[in-house]
Amino acid sequence: MVESNDSIPLDAEKIYLGGKEHHVCTRCGSVSVIVYGDQDKPALITYPDLALNYMSCFQGLFFCPEAASLLLHNFCIYHISPPGHELGAAQICPSTSPYSADDLADQILEVLNFFGLGAVMCMGVTAGAYIFTLFAIKYRERVLGLILVSPLCRAPSWTEWFYNKVMSNLLYFYGMCGLLKEILLQRYFSKEVRGNAEVPESDIVQACRRLLDERYGSNVMRFLQAINRRPDLTSGLKRLRCRTLIFVGDSSPFHSEALYMTSKLDRRFSALVEVQACGSMVTEEQPHAMLIPMEYFFMRYGLYRPCHLSDSPRSPLSPSCISPELLSPESMGLKLKPIKTRVSLEV
């Protein structure tokens, strides 16, 4: 563990596919941050869902060539992992005090200060989306915009509370057992990619299952307990002035939560994209569905894709891929028939 916020020694850093891992000491312990790109560029920070890290939650999006060109052309990426969720994480000492959702939001502030970052773009999935929303409410001047995937904003419903309690008991008694992993995979993915008796599960589900094997159950339980005790953020949503782009799969168990959150945000600054035949983790299951909405979202900040890549047949800037409604000044108007994506509000 790093003992201070001074520069960490080289033997405490690791290189992951061109990114460098830093361990930042915070009030709630050490947190892993993997940095990709030019640190002179604006910062985009990510936060994954329960039991995941950047490799299992954002790899599909960042391995998509068009998304990589859009994001890395405009941003330096900072992948933040929840405590004990990074690749190769050790078990958190049982005597370590439990943390709350507020603690995790404050930890993000400490990470930004460690790297000398000002206002940042945030991208979070489900539990990570909740942490970023809480962070944006507490520290409005530090957030340029929010990209939230299958987000939460209310306290757990009875159904979610029950599932979380079941998962907590499984983690306590059996660790990352087979049943727990099945519950988590249902949380993340639609039935179309989870497979059945006749159809094998997809590669992304198999990869996620393998990565879940690397988690310590006690580390996951700490994050789960913090999320299960989360406060309702509804009253703070109207105070948000950063632009917010929400994605949700229509097969996500948190679909209604995303619709509720959208209804409580200021319509002048928010947009909702629903992706059909998709679960919660749009970043992995249908990352291509995020490209055009993100591109138009970033245009409001004066950010664009590099010109030399715009001739790609799958590029969001390729004229053949742009629906005429997208050029309408009234709204984003996104209607991608192959993936049946819908946008209901203007960004």
Can you give the pLDDT at residue 318? 36
Collapse the DSSP code of 197 into the 3-class scheme (helix H, G, I; strand E, B; otherwise coil) and give the result: coil
pTM: 0.85
Ordered by where they begin, the domains of the chain are: 20-300 (3.40.50.1820)
Residue 107 has pLDDT above 90, yes or no: yes
User: Could you tell me which residue, 200 or 138, shows the higher pLDDT?
Assistant: 138
For 125-160, write each residue's pLDDT tens digit.
999 999 999 999 999 999 999 999 999 999 999 999
Angle at 44 between CA 39 and CA 50, to 5 degrees: 125
The pLDDT of residue 308: 52
| Rounded (to 5) percent helix, strand, coil in the chain | 45, 15, 40
Please give the single-letter amino acid code of residue 315: S
Question: Residue 312 pLDDT > 90, yes or no?
Answer: no
Is the pLDDT confidence value at 56 over 60?
yes
> Between 64 and 340, where is the model more confident?
64
* Confidence class for position 217, pLDDT limits 50, 70, 90: very high
Rounded mean pLDDT of the chain?
Answer: 86
Q: Angle 43-297-82 (CA atoms, 0-180°, nearest 5)?
A: 40
Please report which confidence band the pLDDT of residue 305 belongs to, taking 50, 70 and 90 as the band edges: confident
Give the pLDDT score at 336: 36
Per-residue model confidence as pLDDT tens digits over 57-90: 999 999 999 998 899 999 999 999 999 999 999 9
pLDDT of 3 > 50? The answer is no
pLDDT for position 328: 34
Q: Considering only CA atoms, which of 112, 314, 92 is closest in space to residue 217?
A: 92
